[in-house]
A and B are shown apart, each in its own frame.
Chain A
Amino acid sequence: RKEVEQDPGPFNVPEGATVAFNCTYSNSASQSFFWYRQDCRKEPKLLMSVYSSGNEDGRFTAQLNRASQYISLLIRDSKLSDSATYLCVVNVRNNNDMRFGAGTRLTVKP
């Protein structure tokens, strides 16, 4: 079983749609969680950290479910500019053991 698993997609949604991604992780000792966004042929950029209580940043909401060992990312009112690959990242032990999911590809269409 992979340490971090994501549905690779692709997710093709119309502008204005709400879309959600899930990511599961295998190590129950995982300490911190992140969503990164990666545009084609570019480096990943931190989108948001995921806190135990859940957190929201504008149209983006991230949630953590430790009991079921998954994190989620919800994007509301999708924009064309949201088209990218979204990487789930799990930090098992401080900063020296970050594991990446394979990424979920999102395409928002007019």
Chain B
Amino acid sequence: GAVVSQHPSRVICKSGTSVKIECRSLDFQATTMFWYRQFPKQSLMLMATSNEGSKATYEQGVEKDKFLINHASLTLSTLTVTSAHPEDSSFYICSATSYTSAQHFGDGTRLSIL
């Protein structure tokens, strides 16, 4: 089946650091990639939708200058959490879709800001 690779799986860093998370579709071309955030015991919350070659569409309440998304190719999207603070600590998951009706998820990145 379709595979989405997300890297890194775990990040621990100091407050003020910028963190980049990569999301790759390994065996299909992802026309659209999504970035989600999940806090403990809560569901996934969509942060932004990213279409290849165009600017990401951010959900209400998500700061686009804080969470930089780049979707440079049909197989790669990156999320950069700029100047991360402890409240940014969360589980970040990307997903990708082509022309099928389901999304395929990466393994997630657990971000801990000290």
Proximity bits, A24-60, B CB within 8 Å = 1, else 0: 0000000010100000011111100100000000000
Residue numbers in A under 8 Å from B45 (CB-CB): 100
Question: Chain B residues in contact with chain A, CB under 8 A?
Answer: 6, 32, 34, 42-46, 49, 57, 91, 93, 97, 101-108, 110
In the complex, what residue of chain B is closest to A31 when comparing beta carbons? Answer: B101
10 shortest A-B CB distances, which residue pairs? A43-B105, A102-B43, A43-B108, A100-B43, A95-B97, A100-B44, A46-B102, A32-B101, A43-B93, A43-B107
Minimum CB–CB distance for A58 against chain B, Å: 17
Please classify how large the interface on chain A is, using the bins under 10, 10 to 19, 20 to 34, 35 or more.
10 to 19
Report Cα–Cα, A51/B111, bound state, in Å: 36
A32, A43, A44, A98: which contacts B46 (Cβ < 8 A)? A98
**In whole angstroms, what is the CA distance A98 to B104 when docked?**
12
Asked whether A98 lies within 8 Å of B107 as measured between CB atoms, the reply is: no
- Whether the Cβ atoms of B101 and A44 lie closer than 8 Å is no
Are B106 and A43 in contact (CB-based, < 8 A)? yes
Contacts of A91 in B (CB 8 A): 101
Q: Report the separation of the CA atoms of residues A44 and B94 in the bound assembly, to the nearest whole angstrom.
A: 10
B43 partner, pick from A41, A95, A96, A103, beta carbons under 8 A: A103
Contact B91 A41 (CB under 8 A): yes
Q: How far is the CA of A101 from the CA of B32 in the complex (A)?
A: 21
Nearest CB in chain A: distance from B44 CB, A: 5
Q: How far is the CB of A38 from chain B (nearest CB, A)?
A: 8
Residue of B nearest to A4 (CB): B43
Other-chain residue from A41, A95, A101 in contact with B103 (beta carbon distance below 8 A): A95
List A contacts of B105 (CB < 8 A). Answer: 43-45
Which of chain A's residues have a CB closer than 8 A to the CB of B44?
44, 87, 100
Complex Cα spacing A96 to B91, Å: 21
A98 CA to B32 CA, complexed, in Å? 12
Minimum CB–CB distance for A35 against chain B, Å: 11
Q: How far is the CA of A103 from the CA of B43 in the complex (A)?
A: 6
